Amino acid sequence: MVGTPVLFIAIPLLAAFLIPLTGMVWKESVRIIPGLILAYLLVLAINLLSYVTVNGPIVEVIAGWAPPIGINLVFNAFSGFLVTIMVFMGLLVWLYSYRFKSNVEYEAARKYFLLLMMLVTGSVGIVLTGDIFNMFVFIEITGISGYALTAFYTGRDSAEASFKYLIMGSIASVFLLLAIMIIYSQLGTLNMADVASKMHLMDPKYKAVSFILFVIALGIEAEVFPLNGWAPDAYAEAPGPVGAAFSGIVVKAAVYALIRYTYTIFDLSGAFDLLIIVGLMTLVIAEVAAIRQEKLKRMLAYSSIGQMGLVFVSFGIGTKEGVFAALFIMLNHAIIKPLLFFSGSYLVYHSKKKTISDVDGMGKLAPFTSLLFALGAFSIVGLPPFAGFWSKLSFLMAAADSNMLLIIGLILTVSVVELVYYMRVVNRIFFFKRASHLLARRPTFNAYIVMSVLAVLILVIGFYPDSVSTYLHNAANSLFDKSQYIHSVLTATIQ
Partner 1 sequence: MKKILVLLLLAVVGFYTAETFFDIGFGKAPFVKSSEIKPVKDVYLHQTVQELKVANAVTSIVVNFRGFDTLGEVTVLFLSVTALGSILYKKRHHVGERSVLFSASSIVTSGSKLLFPAIVLLGAYVFIHGHLSPGGGFQGGVIIATGFLLMLLAYENYSVSHKGLAIVESLAGITFAGVGLLGFMNGGTFLQNFLATGTLNDLFSGGIIPIIYIAVGFKVAAELTGVIYTVLNEKGEQHG
Partner 2 sequence: MDSTYFQYLDYAVYGTAVLVMLIGLYAALVKKSLLKIVIGLSIVDSGLNLLIVTLGYIKGGTAPIFSPGYNGTQAMVDPIPQALVLTAIVIGFGVTAVALSLVIRLWRHHHTLYIDEIKNLKW
Partner 3 sequence: MITLILLLFLGGAIVTWLGGKLSPIVGDMLFLVTIIVPAGMFFTGVTVGEVTHIHALGLTLTWGLSPLSYLFSMIVVGLGILLAIYAVPFMKGKQKTGAFYFNFTLSVMAMLGILVSKDWVSFFIFWEIMTWSSYLMVILNGKDVQRVGIKYFIFSAIGAYAMLMAMVVMNSQLGSFLMADTFNNFQHLTVGNQILIPILLLTAFGVKSAMMPLHVWAPDAYSNAPMAYTGLFSGALSKMGIYGMVLVMVTMINQLPEGTLIRDIIAWIGGFTAAAATLWAITQDDGKKLLAWSSVGQMGYIIVGVAIGTPLAMLAALFLVVVHAMFKGSLFMVVGAIEKQTGTTDFREINGLIRKMPWTFISALISVIALAGIPPLAGFVSKWMLYEALIQNNNYILVILLFFASTAGFLYCYKFLHGYFLGQEEPEWAHVKEAPVTMVVPMLLLAIGTFVLGTFPQLLFKPIDSALQYVGYDATGGHLWGQSILFSEWGDVVTLQPILYAVLAVFVFFALFLWFKGTKGTRYVSTKDISSSGELPKEWENLTFKVNFMQPFERVIEPFLKRQIDKYYTAFGNGLEALFEFTRRIYTGNGQTYAIYAILFLALLLLFRVNLFG
Binding site for partner 1 (CB under 8 A): 4, 6, 9-10, 13-14, 16-21, 24, 60-65, 68-71, 107-108, 111-112, 114-115, 118, 125, 131, 133-134, 137-138, 140-141, 144-145, 147-148, 151-152, 154, 159, 162, 178, 182, 185-191, 194, 198, 201, 203, 205-206, 209, 494-495
Helices 445-463, 367-380: crossing angle, 10 deg rounding: 30
- The correct pick among 131, 221, 223, 233 for binding partner 2 (CB under 8 A) is 233
Choose the binding region for partner 2 from 113-121, 172-180, 313-321, 363-371 (rule: CB under 8 A): 172-180
Determine, following the binding rule CB under 8 A, whether residue 306 of this chain makes contact with partner 2.
no
**How far is the C-alpha of 257 from the C-alpha of 108, rounded, in Å?**
31
Q: Which does 46 bind (CB under 5 to 8 A by kind): partner 2, partner 3, partner 1, none?
A: none
Determine, following the binding rule CB under 8 A, whether residue 112 of this chain makes contact with partner 2.
no
Q: Which does 390 bind (CB under 5 to 8 A by kind): partner 3, partner 2, partner 1, none?
A: partner 3
User: Interaction with partner 2 in 118-137: which residues (CB under 8 A)?
Assistant: 133, 137
CA distances from 165 to 142, 229, 338, 342, 417 (A): 12, 8, 20, 22, 27
- 303-317 burial: b if 16+ Cβ within 10 Å, else e: bbbbbbbbbbbbbbb
Q: Give the residue with the Cβ less far from partner 3, 352 or 433.
A: 433
**How far is the C-alpha of 473 from the C-alpha of 324, rounded, in Å?**
6
Q: What's the gap between Cα 101 and its chain centre?
A: 23
Which residues does residue 74 pair with via DSSP β-bridges, in sequence order? 59
Q: Give the residue with the Cβ less far from partner 1, 203 or 466.
A: 203
Taking only Cα atoms into account, the Rg of the chain, rounded to an integer number of angstroms, comes to 21
Minimum distance from residue 386 beta carbon to partner 3 (Å): 10
Which residues, in sequence order, are CB contacts of 298 under 8 Å at separation 6+? 232, 235, 236
- The correct pick among 2, 43, 108, 174 for binding partner 2 (CB under 8 A) is 174
Q: Give the residue with the Cβ less far from partner 3, 170 or 446.
A: 170
On the CB side of 407, how many CA atoms lie within 13 Å of its CA?
A: 26
Minimum distance from residue 436 beta carbon to partner 3 (Å): 17
Cβ(394)–Cβ(346) below 8 Å: no
- Taken as a whole, the chain contains a residue count of 495
Determine, following the binding rule CB under 8 A, whether residue 244 of this chain makes contact with partner 2.
no
Helices 405-431, 296-317: crossing angle, 10 deg rounding: 160
Binding residues for partner 2, per CB under 8 A?
133, 137, 140, 143-144, 147-148, 151, 155-157, 159-164, 166-167, 169-171, 173-174, 177-178, 180-181, 184-185, 190, 232-233, 236-237, 289, 292-293, 298
